[in-house]
């Protein structure tokens, strides 16, 4: 039986350094009130112990709301937390190994930075792909060159799993990203650095709906 993939439409990736000094749990809960559907805990600076404590606080609040918590890179922390899944990059643990460790019911996501990465995605192990960066981004220091919308549309045709687009995405360009074929948009600073995280998330929800309407509209002419 295929694994059930949750609503990926507004996928928040956390970053305490971009959260304007606010408690990350408060930022995340505000985003969820605004409509964020998935939260990925990505903490590059803190210790494993700090990340574990933060993850427990998030999981305690998110699980009753039905919002999945995914851990970036660290399968060990995801297992220790009992998180809903893990997201791995091209330089991290292979997704097949992550799947074996996490078990059959966990969510496993894989970063795809271009067509050269496609052979690394086995749909038997991977539930969704994080594709990007679509646009230039300052949230990730080691980001690869931006793919653009045409390449996103091409990768959508080639990938056998749902895709979440990431990299430089805002409420202004999200409709075009969804219209190009993405199943969701993944953001960091667009929500974490917003003055009002709830309003920022709700703007993305509206943008996703607009993109779905554009995708469903027949081409002109």
Q: What is the mean pLDDT of residues 135-152?
A: 84
Retrieve residue 170's tokens.
């805002």
Domain count, the chain: 1
Instruction: Give the residues across from 156 on adjacent strands.
Output: none
Judge whether 155 lies within some domain: yes
pLDDT band with cut points at 50, 70 and 90 for residue 149:
very high
State the binding site for Mg(2+): 73, 92
pLDDT band with cut points at 50, 70 and 90 for residue 142:
low
What is the reported pLDDT for 141?
Answer: 62
Q: Which residue has the tokens 């559907």?
A: 37
pLDDT at 139 over 80: no
Contact 30, 201 (CB under 8 A): yes
What is the reported pLDDT for 194?
Answer: 98
Nearest-angstrom CA–CA distance, 136 and 201? 20
Judge whether 5 lies within some domain: no
What is the reported pLDDT for 217?
Answer: 83
Q: Which residue has the tokens 């009753």?
A: 64
pTM of the predicted protein model: 0.95
The residues annotated as belonging to the active site are 42, 111, 140
What is the reported pLDDT for 14?
Answer: 97
What is the reported pLDDT for 221?
Answer: 57
Judge whether 129 lies within some domain: yes
Contacts of 31 (CB under 8 A, 6+ apart): 10, 12, 39, 191, 197, 198, 200, 201
Judge whether 25 lies within some domain: yes
Judge whether 175 lies within some domain: yes
CA 24 to chain centre: 17
- Could you tell me which of 75, 95, 93 has the C-alpha nearest to residue 161? 95
Q: What is the mean pLDDT of residues 41-63?
A: 93
CB-side exposure of 134: number of CA atoms within 13 Å? 30
Q: Write the pLDDT tens digit of every residue in 108-134.
A: 999 999 999 999 999 999 999 999 999
Q: Write the pLDDT tens digit of every residue in 68-91.
A: 999 999 999 999 999 999 999 999
Parent domain of 40: 10-216
State the binding site: 40-44, 72-73, 92, 111, 137-140, 168, 188-189
Judge whether 4 lies within some domain: no
The secondary structure of residue 11, as a DSSP letter, is: E
Q: Write the pLDDT tens digit of every residue in 155-210.
A: 999 999 999 999 999 999 999 999 999 999 999 999 999 999 999 999 999 999 99
Nearest-angstrom CA–CA distance, 157 and 161? 10
Judge whether 143 lies within some domain: yes
Q: Write down the mean pLDDT value for the chain.
A: 95
The secondary structure of residue 18, as a DSSP letter, is: G
Q: CATH no. for residue 141?
A: 3.20.20.70
pLDDT at 54 over 60: yes
pLDDT at 3 over 80: no
């Amino acid at each position: 039986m295929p694994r059930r993939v949750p609503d990926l439409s507004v996928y928040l990736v956390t970053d305490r350094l971009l959260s304007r000094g606010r408690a990350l749990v408060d930022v995340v809960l505000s985003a969820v009130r605004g409509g964020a559907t998935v939260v990925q805990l990505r903490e590059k600076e803190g210790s494993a112990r700090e990340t574990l404590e933060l993850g427990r606080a998030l999981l305690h609040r998110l699980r009753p709301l039905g919002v999945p918590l995914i851990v970036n890179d660290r399968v060990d922390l995801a297992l220790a937390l009992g998180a809903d899944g893990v997201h791995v990059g091209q330089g991290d643990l292979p997704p097949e190994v992550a799947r074996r460790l996490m078990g059959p019911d966990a969510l496993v996501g894989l970063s795809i930075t271009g067509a050269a990465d496609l052979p690394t995605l086995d749909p038997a192990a991977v539930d969704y792909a994080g594709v990007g960066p679509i646009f230039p981004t300052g949230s990730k220091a080691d980001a690869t060159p931006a793919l653009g919308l045409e390449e996103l549309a091409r990768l959508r045709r080639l990938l056998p799993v749902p895709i979440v687009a990431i990299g430089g995405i805002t409420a202004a360009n999200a409709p075009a990203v969804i219209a190009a074929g993405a199943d969701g948009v993944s953001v960091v600073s667009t929500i974490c650095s917003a003055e009002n995280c709830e309003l920022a998330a709700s703007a993305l929800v509206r943008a996703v709906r607009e993109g779905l309407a554009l995708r469903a509209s027949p081409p002109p002419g």
